[in-house]
Amino acid sequence: MDVTYAPIGVVRSPYGSPDDVPTPRDADVASRVELDEAYADGLDGLDEFSHVVVLAHLDGIEDSHLRARPPHADGVEVGVFASRSPHRPNPIAQSVVRLDDVDGTTLHVNGLDLVDGTPVLDVKPYVGGVDEADLTRGWLEDLEG
Amino acid sequence: MDVTYAPIGVVRSPYGSPDDVPTPRDADVASRVELDEAYADGLDGLDEFSHVVVLAHLDGIEDSHLRARPPHADGVEVGVFASRSPHRPNPIAQSVVRLDDVDGTTLHVNGLDLVDGTPVLDVKPYVGGVDEADLTRGWLEDLEG
Protein backbone atom coordinates (compact mmCIF):
# COMPACT_ATOMS: atom_id res chain seq x y z
CA MET A 1 0.00 0.00 0.00
CA ASP A 2 1.61 3.22 -1.17
CA VAL A 3 1.82 6.35 0.95
CA THR A 4 1.19 9.78 -0.55
CA TYR A 5 2.25 13.15 0.84
CA ALA A 6 1.72 16.71 -0.32
CA PRO A 7 4.81 18.89 0.21
CA ILE A 8 4.31 21.71 2.72
CA GLY A 9 6.98 23.99 1.27
CA VAL A 10 10.27 24.24 -0.55
CA VAL A 11 13.99 24.66 0.17
CA ARG A 12 15.78 27.81 -1.00
CA SER A 13 19.53 27.18 -0.93
CA PRO A 14 22.68 28.19 -2.81
CA TYR A 15 23.01 24.64 -4.18
CA GLY A 16 21.78 24.27 -7.76
CA SER A 17 22.44 20.54 -8.10
CA PRO A 18 23.38 17.58 -5.87
CA ASP A 19 27.02 17.95 -6.95
CA ASP A 20 27.10 21.42 -5.38
CA VAL A 21 26.27 20.15 -1.88
CA PRO A 22 29.51 19.69 0.10
CA THR A 23 30.32 16.52 2.08
CA PRO A 24 30.50 16.91 5.00
CA ARG A 25 27.95 19.67 4.92
CA ASP A 26 28.95 23.27 5.62
CA ALA A 27 27.28 24.28 8.89
CA ASP A 28 27.68 27.97 8.09
CA VAL A 29 25.84 28.06 4.78
CA ALA A 30 22.47 29.80 5.08
CA SER A 31 19.34 28.40 3.45
CA ARG A 32 15.64 29.00 3.80
CA VAL A 33 12.76 26.61 4.31
CA GLU A 34 9.74 28.38 2.82
CA LEU A 35 6.48 26.83 3.98
CA ASP A 36 3.12 27.53 2.37
CA GLU A 37 1.39 30.45 4.08
CA ALA A 38 -1.51 28.20 5.06
CA TYR A 39 0.79 26.71 7.72
CA ALA A 40 1.54 29.96 9.57
CA ASP A 41 -0.31 28.90 12.75
CA GLY A 42 1.62 25.64 12.78
CA LEU A 43 4.92 27.45 13.40
CA ASP A 44 3.95 29.13 16.67
CA GLY A 45 6.67 28.49 19.24
CA LEU A 46 9.20 26.99 16.83
CA ASP A 47 11.40 30.10 16.99
CA GLU A 48 12.27 29.21 20.59
CA PHE A 49 14.09 26.09 19.46
CA SER A 50 17.73 26.36 18.39
CA HIS A 51 17.57 23.45 15.95
CA VAL A 52 14.96 21.78 13.77
CA VAL A 53 14.64 18.49 11.89
CA VAL A 54 13.78 18.97 8.22
CA LEU A 55 12.33 16.06 6.26
CA ALA A 56 12.38 16.57 2.51
CA HIS A 57 11.80 14.67 -0.71
CA LEU A 58 14.93 14.30 -2.84
CA ASP A 59 13.10 14.93 -6.09
CA GLY A 60 16.24 14.98 -8.21
CA ILE A 61 17.01 11.33 -7.37
CA GLU A 62 15.72 8.97 -10.01
CA ASP A 63 17.42 5.69 -9.14
CA SER A 64 18.00 3.70 -5.98
CA HIS A 65 20.70 1.17 -5.20
CA LEU A 66 21.02 -1.33 -2.38
CA ARG A 67 24.74 -0.58 -2.06
CA ALA A 68 26.40 2.77 -1.52
CA ARG A 69 29.92 4.16 -1.76
CA PRO A 70 29.92 7.18 0.55
CA PRO A 71 32.00 10.15 -0.68
CA HIS A 72 35.49 10.61 0.81
CA ALA A 73 35.30 7.14 2.33
CA ASP A 74 38.26 5.43 0.66
CA GLY A 75 36.14 3.15 -1.47
CA VAL A 76 34.12 1.78 1.44
CA GLU A 77 30.99 0.04 0.16
CA VAL A 78 28.06 -0.58 2.48
CA GLY A 79 24.35 -1.25 2.32
CA VAL A 80 22.28 1.82 1.48
CA PHE A 81 20.55 1.69 4.89
CA ALA A 82 24.00 1.90 6.54
CA SER A 83 24.61 5.12 4.60
CA ARG A 84 23.03 8.51 4.07
CA SER A 85 23.09 8.04 0.29
CA PRO A 86 20.21 9.81 -1.45
CA HIS A 87 19.83 6.83 -3.80
CA ARG A 88 17.55 4.94 -1.40
CA PRO A 89 14.25 3.14 -1.99
CA ASN A 90 12.33 6.10 -0.55
CA PRO A 91 14.51 9.19 -1.11
CA ILE A 92 13.62 11.07 2.08
CA ALA A 93 16.28 13.43 3.42
CA GLN A 94 16.52 14.00 7.17
CA SER A 95 18.61 17.01 8.21
CA VAL A 96 19.13 18.57 11.63
CA VAL A 97 19.88 22.26 11.14
CA ARG A 98 20.40 25.38 13.23
CA LEU A 99 17.39 27.68 13.21
CA ASP A 100 18.30 31.36 13.12
CA ASP A 101 14.92 32.97 12.62
CA VAL A 102 11.31 32.37 11.73
CA ASP A 103 9.87 35.16 9.58
CA GLY A 104 6.24 34.51 8.72
CA THR A 105 6.34 31.03 7.19
CA THR A 106 10.02 31.28 6.23
CA LEU A 107 12.60 29.46 8.35
CA HIS A 108 16.14 30.81 8.15
CA VAL A 109 18.49 27.90 8.81
CA ASN A 110 22.17 27.02 8.63
CA GLY A 111 23.81 23.81 7.46
CA LEU A 112 21.00 22.46 5.33
CA ASP A 113 22.45 20.04 2.77
CA LEU A 114 19.64 20.23 0.22
CA VAL A 115 19.39 21.50 -3.32
CA ASP A 116 17.41 24.65 -4.15
CA GLY A 117 13.82 23.74 -4.93
CA THR A 118 13.70 20.51 -2.89
CA PRO A 119 10.12 19.85 -1.67
CA VAL A 120 9.77 19.86 2.13
CA LEU A 121 7.59 17.22 3.80
CA ASP A 122 7.84 18.06 7.49
CA VAL A 123 9.56 20.23 10.08
CA LYS A 124 9.94 19.10 13.69
CA PRO A 125 11.64 20.61 16.73
CA TYR A 126 14.98 18.97 17.52
CA VAL A 127 14.77 17.91 21.16
CA GLY A 128 18.05 16.08 21.74
CA GLY A 129 20.19 13.19 20.59
CA VAL A 130 22.23 10.30 21.86
CA ASP A 131 25.05 10.78 24.36
CA GLU A 132 28.41 10.54 22.59
CA ALA A 133 29.49 7.97 25.20
CA ASP A 134 26.72 5.62 24.05
CA LEU A 135 27.38 6.03 20.34
CA THR A 136 29.08 3.71 17.84
CA ARG A 137 29.20 4.80 14.24
CA GLY A 138 30.37 1.79 12.19
CA TRP A 139 32.40 2.48 9.07
CA LEU A 140 32.53 6.19 9.87
CA GLU A 141 34.67 5.45 12.92
CA ASP A 142 36.98 3.20 10.92
CA LEU A 143 37.61 6.12 8.57
CA GLU A 144 38.37 8.51 11.40
CA GLY A 145 40.88 6.03 12.80
CA MET B 1 2.87 17.73 -6.85
CA ASP B 2 2.31 14.79 -4.55
CA VAL B 3 5.05 12.43 -3.45
CA THR B 4 4.45 8.67 -3.29
CA TYR B 5 6.45 6.10 -1.34
CA ALA B 6 6.22 2.33 -1.04
CA PRO B 7 6.87 1.14 2.55
CA ILE B 8 10.00 -1.00 2.89
CA GLY B 9 8.83 -2.89 5.97
CA VAL B 10 6.76 -2.83 9.11
CA VAL B 11 7.13 -2.20 12.85
CA ARG B 12 6.52 -5.04 15.31
CA SER B 13 6.02 -3.57 18.78
CA PRO B 14 4.09 -4.29 21.97
CA TYR B 15 1.90 -1.21 21.33
CA GLY B 16 -1.51 -2.04 19.88
CA SER B 17 -2.77 1.54 19.58
CA PRO B 18 -1.40 5.09 19.83
CA ASP B 19 -2.78 5.32 23.39
CA ASP B 20 -0.47 2.47 24.42
CA VAL B 21 2.72 4.35 23.48
CA PRO B 22 4.17 6.02 26.60
CA THR B 23 5.26 9.68 26.70
CA PRO B 24 8.14 10.08 27.12
CA ARG B 25 8.99 6.88 25.36
CA ASP B 26 10.39 3.89 27.26
CA ALA B 27 13.97 3.40 26.08
CA ASP B 28 14.02 -0.19 27.34
CA VAL B 29 11.04 -1.53 25.41
CA ALA B 30 12.10 -3.87 22.60
CA SER B 31 10.56 -3.68 19.14
CA ARG B 32 11.44 -4.99 15.73
CA VAL B 33 11.72 -3.29 12.37
CA GLU B 34 11.03 -6.01 9.81
CA LEU B 35 12.15 -5.01 6.34
CA ASP B 36 11.14 -6.83 3.17
CA GLU B 37 13.65 -9.55 2.33
CA ALA B 38 14.42 -7.86 -0.98
CA TYR B 39 16.39 -5.26 1.02
CA ALA B 40 18.84 -7.67 2.65
CA ASP B 41 21.87 -6.31 0.76
CA GLY B 42 20.95 -2.80 1.83
CA LEU B 43 21.57 -3.58 5.49
CA ASP B 44 25.23 -4.57 5.14
CA GLY B 45 27.27 -2.70 7.76
CA LEU B 46 24.31 -1.32 9.70
CA ASP B 47 24.92 -3.70 12.61
CA GLU B 48 28.11 -1.77 13.43
CA PHE B 49 26.09 1.31 14.34
CA SER B 50 24.69 1.61 17.87
CA HIS B 51 21.69 3.72 16.86
CA VAL B 52 19.49 4.15 13.81
CA VAL B 53 16.96 6.69 12.57
CA VAL B 54 13.63 5.13 11.66
CA LEU B 55 11.22 7.04 9.41
CA ALA B 56 7.71 5.62 9.40
CA HIS B 57 4.23 6.48 8.18
CA LEU B 58 1.73 7.01 11.00
CA ASP B 59 -1.07 5.19 9.22
CA GLY B 60 -3.46 5.33 12.15
CA ILE B 61 -3.58 9.13 12.03
CA GLU B 62 -6.53 10.42 10.04
CA ASP B 63 -6.63 14.10 10.92
CA SER B 64 -4.10 16.90 11.15
CA HIS B 65 -4.23 20.10 13.17
CA LEU B 66 -2.11 23.24 13.00
CA ARG B 67 -2.07 23.46 16.81
CA ALA B 68 -0.94 20.82 19.28
CA ARG B 69 -1.26 20.29 23.02
CA PRO B 70 1.66 18.01 23.90
CA PRO B 71 0.94 15.38 26.58
CA HIS B 72 2.10 16.10 30.14
CA ALA B 73 2.78 19.73 29.17
CA ASP B 74 0.45 21.59 31.53
CA GLY B 75 -1.91 22.70 28.77
CA VAL B 76 0.82 24.27 26.64
CA GLU B 77 -0.48 24.88 23.12
CA VAL B 78 1.97 25.36 20.25
CA GLY B 79 2.08 25.09 16.48
CA VAL B 80 2.19 21.53 15.23
CA PHE B 81 5.66 22.09 13.71
CA ALA B 82 6.92 23.11 17.16
CA SER B 83 5.71 19.74 18.46
CA ARG B 84 6.16 16.05 17.75
CA SER B 85 2.38 15.56 17.50
CA PRO B 86 1.43 12.79 15.07
CA HIS B 87 -1.48 14.91 13.83
CA ARG B 88 0.67 16.77 11.28
CA PRO B 89 0.06 17.57 7.61
CA ASN B 90 2.35 14.69 6.56
CA PRO B 91 2.27 12.15 9.42
CA ILE B 92 5.89 10.98 9.21
CA ALA B 93 7.43 9.69 12.44
CA GLN B 94 11.15 10.14 13.01
CA SER B 95 12.61 8.07 15.85
CA VAL B 96 16.23 7.57 16.92
CA VAL B 97 16.51 4.16 18.55
CA ARG B 98 19.20 1.86 19.93
CA LEU B 99 20.05 -1.00 17.59
CA ASP B 100 20.71 -4.28 19.39
CA ASP B 101 20.98 -6.68 16.49
CA VAL B 102 20.39 -7.18 12.80
CA ASP B 103 19.12 -10.68 11.99
CA GLY B 104 18.54 -11.08 8.27
CA THR B 105 16.24 -8.18 7.43
CA THR B 106 14.95 -7.82 10.99
CA LEU B 107 16.30 -4.99 13.15
CA HIS B 108 16.02 -5.50 16.89
CA VAL B 109 15.71 -2.06 18.47
CA ASN B 110 14.92 -0.43 21.80
CA GLY B 111 12.88 2.67 22.53
CA LEU B 112 10.81 2.77 19.37
CA ASP B 113 7.62 4.75 20.02
CA LEU B 114 5.53 3.28 17.22
CA VAL B 115 2.42 1.13 17.11
CA ASP B 116 2.58 -2.49 15.93
CA GLY B 117 2.00 -2.65 12.18
CA THR B 118 3.27 0.87 11.38
CA PRO B 119 4.68 0.97 7.81
CA VAL B 120 8.40 1.84 7.67
CA LEU B 121 9.65 4.24 4.99
CA ASP B 122 13.38 4.43 5.65
CA VAL B 123 16.19 3.43 7.99
CA LYS B 124 19.38 5.49 8.27
CA PRO B 125 22.47 5.22 10.47
CA TYR B 126 22.47 7.72 13.32
CA VAL B 127 25.76 9.58 13.05
CA GLY B 128 25.54 12.21 15.78
CA GLY B 129 23.54 15.13 17.05
CA VAL B 130 23.86 18.64 18.38
CA ASP B 131 26.06 19.45 21.38
CA GLU B 132 23.90 20.01 24.47
CA ALA B 133 25.71 23.31 25.00
CA ASP B 134 24.37 24.61 21.68
CA LEU B 135 20.82 23.45 22.21
CA THR B 136 17.69 25.41 23.14
CA ARG B 137 14.44 23.51 23.33
CA GLY B 138 11.63 26.09 23.61
CA TRP B 139 8.52 25.14 25.57
CA LEU B 140 10.14 21.87 26.68
CA GLU B 141 12.68 23.82 28.74
CA ASP B 142 9.98 25.97 30.29
CA LEU B 143 8.30 22.78 31.51
CA GLU B 144 11.50 21.42 32.99
CA GLY B 145 11.99 24.68 34.84
Q: Is residue B36 part of a domain?
A: yes
Provide, as residue numbers in chain A, all residues whose Cβ is less than 8 Å from the Cβ of B50.
130, 134-137
The CA distance from B32 to B111, in Å, is 10
Which residues, 6 or more positions from A31, have their beta carbon under 8 angstroms from its beta carbon?
A11, A12, A13, A14, A97, A109, A110, A112, A114
Report the share of chain A in percent with pLDDT over 70. 99
Q: Specify if B2 maps to a domain.
A: no
The yes-or-no verdict on residue B145 having pLDDT over 80 is no
Specify if B59 maps to a domain. yes
Q: Does any domain span residue B119?
A: yes
Residue B4 in any domain: the answer is: no
Q: Is B79 on the interface with A (CB under 8 A)?
A: yes
More confident residue, A89 or B18: A89
A44, closest residue in chain B (CA to CA): B79
Q: For residue A19, what are the domain limits?
A: 9-128
Give the lowest-confidence range in A73-82, B34-43, B102-111, B136-145.
Answer: B136-145
pLDDT band at A79 (very low <50, low <70, confident <90, very high): very high
Chain A touched by B55 (CB under 8 Å): yes
Beta carbon pairs, A and B, within 8 Å? 223
- What is the structure's pLDDT at A42? 98
pLDDT interval class at B92 (50, 70, 90): very high
Q: For chain B, how many structural domains are there in total?
A: 1
Confirm whether B54 is domain-assigned. yes
pLDDT in tens, A107-120: 999 999 999 999 99
Contacts of B109 in chain A (CB under 8 A): none
- The CATH number that applies at residue A35 is 2.40.30.70
Kindly tell me if the per-residue pLDDT of A66 is higher than 90.
yes
**Record: contact A44-B78, CB cut-off 8 A:** yes
A142 pLDDT band (50/70/90 cuts)? confident
The answer as to whether A134 is a domain residue is no
Query: Domain for residue B145, yes or no?
Result: no
Residues B124, A112, A81: CA angle, nearest 5 degrees: 10
